[in-house]
Amino acid sequence: MIYLISGGSGSGKSKFAEDEAVKYKGRKLYIATMENKSSSAKKRILKHRNMRQGKGFDTIEKEKSFRSIDLSDYKIVLLECLPNLTANHIYGGGNINMLYDDVDYLLKKAENLIIVTNDISSCALHYDEEVYKYMKVLNNLACSIAEHADKVIEVTAGIPIYHKGEK
């Protein structure tokens, strides 16, 4: 089963994704991709660590390059989150091909996979060209994952809206 869970910042998508993952019996892996390089990042990382505390996740904090992760013992893998992974590859010494390799590895090797992404295209703001490049890569990747996904769910104000698959 492949899930793509999307929503705006603070929409409740991470909590929803974790709640879906804990429904699975067996080992659960949480792959956290946020770089721990600023005080705001440290606060978000701490918030997410606290959110998943006691939910039975093994956690790997890894910014990119997932082929070294053995997924064979895990019933469910939760990737938090696709926008961070994308930025890590584009701006952190990776490249788009390596980004697609990371996602492809998870899609092929995880027995069940939940990918969390953000809806970053709904703002009517003007961005510089570099941000548009990032948005295009992220949106293309999300669309590709959605094609393969069994469930595509948007979370708004903590309420899931199923665009593909059933509740």
Integer Cα distance of 53 and 122 in angstroms: 32
Mean pLDDT score of the chain: 91
Confidence (pLDDT) at 51: 77
pLDDT confidence band for 34 (50 / 70 / 90): confident
Instruction: Point out which residues pair with 40 in neighbouring strands.
Output: none
pLDDT exceeds cutoff 90 at 120: no
In this structure, of 35-49, 66-80, 101-115, the range with the lowest mean pLDDT score is: 35-49
Q: How far is CA 16 from the centre of its chain?
A: 12
Integer Cα distance of 80 and 82 in angstroms: 6
pLDDT confidence band for 41 (50 / 70 / 90): low
Average pLDDT over residues 155-159: 95
Which domain range does residue 21 map to? 2-164
pLDDT exceeds cutoff 90 at 132: no
Confidence (pLDDT) at 162: 97
- pLDDT 10s digits, 85-101: 999 999 988 789 999 99
Average pLDDT over residues 138-156: 97
Q: How far is CA 162 from the centre of its chain?
A: 17
pTM given for the model = 0.92
Q: What CATH code is carried by the domain that includes residue 52?
A: 3.40.50.300
Other Cβ atoms within 10 Å of 166 Cβ, number: 6
pLDDT exceeds cutoff 80 at 35: no
Confidence (pLDDT) at 149: 98
Q: DSSP code of 130?
A: H
Instruction: Point out which residues pair with 153 in neighbouring strands.
Output: 5, 162
Considering the chain, what percentage of its residues have pLDDT values greater than 90?
Answer: 72
- List the strands of the sheet with 113-118, edge to edge: 57-61, 28-32, 76-80, 113-118, 2-7, 151-156, 159-164
Number of separate domains in the chain: 1
